[in-house]
Amino acid sequence: MASRVRVPGARSGRVSEQARAGYDVRAGAAAYAPIVGAIGGFVVPAVVLVFDIASRHHVAHGGRTEALLGAATAFLVLGLISCLLGAFALAAIGAERSTTPSLIAAVLHAGAGTAVGVVAILAAFEALAALFFGDAELPFAAITVGAAVAGVVLVALVLGDAWSTPVPGEDYWLTTRRQCNHWAIIFSVAGCVPVLGSAVAHFSRVGLHAEGAVLSVLVVSGICIAMAAGLGSMFRTVRGDDGHERPLERREVIVTVAVLAAYLSALILTMPV
């Protein structure tokens, strides 16, 4: 059973000298929230544009054009949902009055959901590039892969700031800066491996077509992951009246990074070639 700790100063708003010396996740989350929300808002006119393209070109049923426009629309909607949930989660973190260990976990989950949304939006533009620009879709695919790698790394690097929210007890796995940086690098590299592997497969023309059942499963899975990440982040900020809360656990990081890397790898493998 997960251990729960009493966070000094959680109710009074006081934080330790160690917390004041480190990165304030509340300020960072509050700054990121409007950016992520703006990205999600940008998707709405993009979806309208795709529907306009489809109506103007009288898309034939069952053709490649229909499949690519369908994939682009689905990815854009996925990006919209993921980014909005990520923005809500980050705003909730920014509204916290004190920096506590649970906020590191909350940022981890919020970042994972946001990464899914951003990569999905770029994958949608890659589908449109494959439709209208032919061979020019290669740069768009490379941009999408780069965003996926950056997303995994940025999510894992949240561990690097866990030392600034100390957890009482000598057996906690993220106590010193060295421990935090060590695990941040390990999870960053481990998460990048499957993403880069799927990128090699994609550029080698190996993968699945994002249409029909494959597209449906991919989008529904992405929405489920985004909802779990966003809502999980918000619930991670909940604590009892006595200030007790659950700090970030190693298995929690393993599951989050593994699911994020696996989904982004699947997204890359289904991009149009």
Q: What is the pLDDT of residues 141-157, one digit of tens each?
A: 899 999 999 999 999 99
Burial 22-37 (b: 16+ CB within 10 A, else e): bbbbbebbbebbeebb
**Per-residue confidence at 96, pLDDT binned at 50, 70, 90?**
confident
- Contact between 76 and 47 (Cβ < 8 Å): yes
Angle at 76 (CA atoms; ends 120, 146), nearest 5 degrees? 25
- Contact between 84 and 37 (Cβ < 8 Å): yes
Burial class of 62 by CB neighbour count within 10 A (0 to 12, 13 to 18, 19+): exposed
Angle at 158 (CA atoms; ends 154, 163), nearest 5 degrees? 155
Angstrom distance (rounded) from CA 79 to CA 263: 13
Name the token pair of 26. 């509340």
Rounded average pLDDT over 208-232? 85
Using only C-alpha atoms, the chain has a radius of gyration, in whole angstroms, of 20
Q: What is the pLDDT of residues 186-202, one digit of tens each?
A: 999 999 999 999 999 88
Q: What is the pLDDT of residues 57-85, one digit of tens each?
A: 555 555 667 777 888 888 888 998 998 89
Angstrom distance (rounded) from CA 125 to CA 121: 7
So what's the pLDDT on residue 114?
A: 93
Q: Which residues, in sequence order, are CB contacts of 92 under 8 Å at separation 6+? A: 106, 233, 234, 237
So what's the pLDDT on residue 191?
A: 94
**Positions of E strands within the chain:** 5-6, 244-245
Q: What is the pLDDT of residues 159-179, one digit of tens each?
A: 887 877 767 665 788 777 888
Q: What is the pTM of this model?
A: 0.81
